[in-house]
Amino acid sequence: MKRYPEFERMLADLPSHFSRGAKLGRPKAPASAPKGVVVCGMGGSALPGLILEAMASSGNLGVPVIVWRNYDLPRIMPPQSLVICLSYSGNTEETISSFLRARRKRLPILAITTGGKLAEAARKYRVPLVLIPAGLPPRLAIGYLTGAVLGALKLDRIGGGITGQKLMPASRVSKNIARLLTAKIPLIYSPPEWQTLAHIWKIAFNENAKIPAFSYAFPEINHNEMMGLASRPLPANKTLAAIFLADSASHPRIRRRIKLTQAILRRRAKIKTLEVKLSGRSFFEKLIYGIELGYWSSYWLAVGRGVNPFDEKLIEDFKKEMGSPKATP
Ligand code: F6R
């Protein structure tokens, strides 16, 4: 089985990217704290926005956050919002369009990228710009991108600071997950406060292992999703496997829901399940551990499937086929 040492090195370095990104972001902190934040970015570059949103909803932020994965900007935004435009390549058309709209509206902007059109536009309009190192697949730049956002918002030192545990590449857990998912479609379920992490796992399986994957969160699962799986199971259920991300700090009723739902999926829906405990003492430790575990699992799955975890040709070809926005009527 072909392994990808360069990918393994990037994964091993990932925990250190968060604090390095924070150092790059700090000098660009706005003079006065924003009253709201709109984070614009797509795919891997949207992940820091989702992490910020999770921090805001758990009360770690104190200002509202909107994650905008679309063209232009939301019609309604908190007054005096900072618009953070994130694009690893700097050439994602949706994000450039948000940047230009924010410019026209004279809103305060922060651009975070490795270069491309976004860096050009930031320089042209004298918008604060954080340049992060190039050379990673955007999803593996999650540490730099997130660190830069948190540094610029002076949030990188809250709750024990942005430190992560290093997970050994040979970690039994990530290999076990990859083994369970062989020839399966993963359903990744999480407590509500970790739905961003479940989404991060989903896109890691999509982009690294090249498989379909779906994520959803409790308690909502018990109000619809489980009916589709366990009422009158389809033969296709055999191709599914469910991963439950669990945190001992979650609401006790959520923890109970996770246990009961696992039993229902196993017994009634005939779906294999696995509970994965998020280890760590703080939000950031659990987050970084969770990201590493998801990324390593998707990597081992890619290796087992004989696919190249770096390959993102389909996304790039699609962008080319879309052509330049100006060429579209
Ligand atoms: C590729 C990836 C994609 C990109 C997305 C936006 O690794 O994760 O989801 O992140 O196509 O591109 P960037 O990040 O360059 O703005």
Q: Residues 3-51: pLDDT tens digits?
A: 999 999 999 999 999 999 999 999 999 999 899 999 999 999 999 999 9
Query: Is the pTM of the predicted complex or chain greater than 0.85?
Result: yes
pLDDT of residue 325: 86
Contact 166/12 with Cβ under 8 angstroms? yes
How many Å lie between the centroid of ligand 1 and the Cα of residue 323? 17
In tens, the pLDDT along 137-168 reads: 999 999 999 999 999 999 998 877 887 566 66
Q: Are 106 and 81 in contact (CB under 8 A)?
A: no
Q: Is 17 known to be catalytic? A: no
Location of structure tokens 């669990």: 246
Indicate which residue of 2, 124, 223, 313 is catalytic: 223
Tokens of 148: 């830069």
Active-site choice (53, 93, 94, 207): 207
Instruction: Yes or no: say if 105 and 80 are a contact pair by the CB < 8 Å rule.
Output: no
pLDDT greater than 60 at residue 173: yes
Average pLDDT, the chain: 94
Q: What is the mean pLDDT of residues 43-61?
A: 91
Residue 214 corresponds to which tokens in the numbers above?
A: 């779906």
Distance between CA atoms of residues 160 and 282, nearest Å: 7
307's CB contacts (< 8 A; 6+ apart) are 209, 210
The predicted model gives 313-318 an average pLDDT of: 97
pLDDT at 164: 59
- Confidence at residue 56, expressed as pLDDT on a 0 to 100 scale: 87
Q: What is the mean pLDDT of residues 256-280?
A: 96
For 68-78, what is each residue's pLDDT tens digit?
A: 999 999 999 99
For position 329, what pLDDT does the model report?
45
272 counts as catalytic = no
Q: Residue 64 above 70 pLDDT?
A: yes
- Tell me which residues have their CB closer than 6 angstroms to ligand 1: 42-45, 87-89, 92, 95, 137-139, 207, 312, 315
Residue with tokens 């407590």: 191
Least confident span in 86-95, 198-207, 232-241, 276-285:
276-285
Pocket test for ligand 1, best of 11, 45, 99 (most atoms within 8 A of CB): 45
Measured distance CA(177)–CA(281) in Å, rounded: 23
* Closest atom, ligand 1, to C-alpha of 92: 16
pLDDT for the residue 168: 64
CA 261 to centroid of ligand 1, rounded, Å:
33
pLDDT value of position 255: 98
Ligand 1: distance of its center to the CA of 265 in Å?
Answer: 33
Lowest mean pLDDT among 25-29, 50-54, 168-172, 241-245: 168-172
Rounded (to 5) percent helix, strand, coil in the chain = 50, 15, 35
Query: Residue 99 is encoded by which pair of tokens?
Result: 């940047």
Q: In whole angstroms, how far apart are CA 66 and each of 23, 38, 218, 283, 300?
A: 24, 5, 21, 20, 34
Minimum-distance ligand 1 atom for the alpha carbon of 45 = 14
